[in-house]
Amino acid sequence: MLLVVTYSRPARRSLRNICRGHEESIVRRFGRAALLRATEHGAFLACRLREKYPDDVQVERTRPFNEFADASEDVRAAASAYESREAKHTPYAKFAAGADHPDPAELRDQDL
Amino acid sequence: MRVRAAGGEHVGPVVDLRGSDVRPQELAAAVRDPDDDRVRCPPPEATAVHRRVGCIRPDMTLDRQGALAAVARSHGTTAAVDDELAAVEADLEALDAGSTDLAAARERVATAGAERDRLRERVATLRGEIRARREAGLDATDAADDLSDAARRLSEATTERQAAIQALDRARANARNAYDDRERRLRLEDRAANLRRTARTELADAVRQDVSDALPTVSDRPLAETSDPLVALAAARIAKLHAPVVVAVDLFGPEATAGYVRAPTVRL
């Protein structure tokens, strides 16, 4: 999908109008952002917006996130263990230290 | 007030130009422009409220909230949120968001990638050609020269593609900061708009009754059902107006209009 994010009032208004007028190419709306279908038409709408507001429209392309293929087993295990922890108020860093899970600083340094 | 129009010069607090082909908006513009000699009037020059209700035409539309708020402000009335609004506007003035337009950098990456791919294919094709010629016992020298040339160009293209990708990555990182600033600006602009709306409501509420009370002279309907020009006329009466008002609606004669509006008047 194409993620379109606007950064000014006029650009936001234009995005709203585009979403209203082209529902078939809009997957989801979030106010000043929207997910568009990754079709030539979606690209067309994104490009139009960018032409109109070259500095106030950000467009990224998304891929479905498959945690089994894209993230390591350590990360999945850590997430699962943390969410089912007993002590509700323990921050993850502390939790990880006590239980052999990757520490957040390490995780931040590793690209997917 | 001194008005030079319709082939003559008119002096006095009330000027009657009915039947002339002077256009109301043009005259109002002359009123508001201190350098426009067609209308000379003592200072102070036209104010914000004059821009809203200083030119009354039968086909005009009126932003009622805006007009009422301007009427209130013309009397020096302030809104409780004025200070906060001024602070937000000052913050906005101070913000200087950088550009985020990376189209050129992106195009460089796309072009470099396409060129590298093209040359990769060319190298593969030439390799195939050389192999075929040798297997057929033919001379492959020319093809070998072409291959070495293409391989060199492929190497350059690969380097260029890498450089383009790195340049784009750096530019994207910088753009993130510019986007942060723009987001901050958007939040401030939204806040300013909300504060302006709050101020307008408070100010309009402060004068609505007075304008309503002035209405019966010009309209037999309540405020909500009265047309825009007549509401504008009543608002002009309640406003503290210095500059001459141009009135192009046919309700009263010039003297009576000036008396109602309580300002120098040009009737068209």
Instruction: Give the pLDDT of residue B43.
Output: 55
Cβ of A8 within 8 Å of Cβ of B186? The answer is yes
Instruction: Give the pLDDT of residue B2.
Output: 83
Query: How close A12 comes to chain B (CA, Å)?
Result: 10
Three state DSSP letters for B91-143: HHHHCCCCCCCCHHHHHHHHHHHHHHHHHHHHHHHHHHHHHHHHHCCCCCHHH
Average pLDDT on A67-76 reads 95
Decide the pairing of beta strands B14-16 and B265-267: parallel
In chain B, which residue's Cα lies nearest the Cα of A12? B186
The burial of B266, by beta-carbon neighbours within 10 Å (0-12 exposed, 13-18 middle, 19 or more buried), is given as buried
Averaged confidence pLDDT in chain B: 92
C-alpha neighbours within 13 Å on the C-beta side of residue B261: 35
Chain A with chain B: Cβ pairs closer than 8 A: 32
First-last CA distance in chain A: 19
Q: Which residues of chain A have a CB within 8 Å of the CB of B190?
A: 9
Cβ of A55 within 8 Å of Cβ of B190? The answer is no
Tally Cβ neighbours within 10 Å of residue A16: 15
Q: By three-state DSSP, how is residue B60 classified?
A: coil
In chain B, which residue's Cα lies nearest the Cα of A10? B186
Bridge partners, residue B55, by sequence: B246
Q: Which residues of chain B have a CB within 8 Å of the CB of A7?
A: 100, 179, 182-183, 185-186
pLDDT tens column, B10-58: 888 888 888 888 888 888 888 887 777 788 776 555 588 999 999 999 9
B186 close to A (CB below 8 A): yes
The burial of B36, by beta-carbon neighbours within 10 Å (0-12 exposed, 13-18 middle, 19 or more buried), is given as middle
Cβ of B190 within 8 Å of Cβ of A58? The answer is no
> Nearest by CB to A54, which of B97, B101, B182?
B101
A12 close to B (CB below 8 A): yes
Cβ of B186 within 8 Å of Cβ of A50? The answer is no
Cβ of B101 within 8 Å of Cβ of A55? The answer is yes
Q: Which residues of chain A have a CB within 8 Å of the CB of B101?
A: 54-55
A16 close to B (CB below 8 A): no
A55 close to B (CB below 8 A): yes
Question: Do A34 and A15 meet the contact criterion of CB atoms below 8 Å apart?
Answer: yes
Considering only A28-32, A97-101, B180-184, which range has the smallest mean pLDDT?
A: A97-101
In chain A, which residue's Cα lies nearest the Cα of B186? A8
First-last CA distance in chain B: 16
Cβ of B186 within 8 Å of Cβ of A58? The answer is no
pLDDT tens column, B146-194: 999 999 999 999 999 999 999 999 999 999 999 999 999 999 999 999 9
B106 close to A (CB below 8 A): no
pLDDT tens column, B174-187: 999 999 999 999 99
The tokens of B67 are what? Answer: 């007009």
Distance from C-alpha of A24 to C-alpha of A44, rounded to nearest angstrom = 13
Cβ of A7 within 8 Å of Cβ of B186? The answer is yes
Cβ of B100 within 8 Å of Cβ of A9? The answer is no
Q: Which amino acid is at A107?
A: L
For chain B, how many helices (H) and strands (E)?
Answer: 8, 7
Question: ipTM value of the model?
Answer: 0.89
Query: How close B191 comes to chain A (CA, Å)?
Result: 12
Query: How close A77 comes to chain B (CA, Å)?
Result: 31
Instruction: Give the pLDDT of residue B7.
Output: 79
pLDDT tens column, B49-104: 999 999 999 999 999 999 999 999 999 999 999 999 999 999 999 999 999 999 99
Cβ of A58 within 8 Å of Cβ of B189? The answer is no
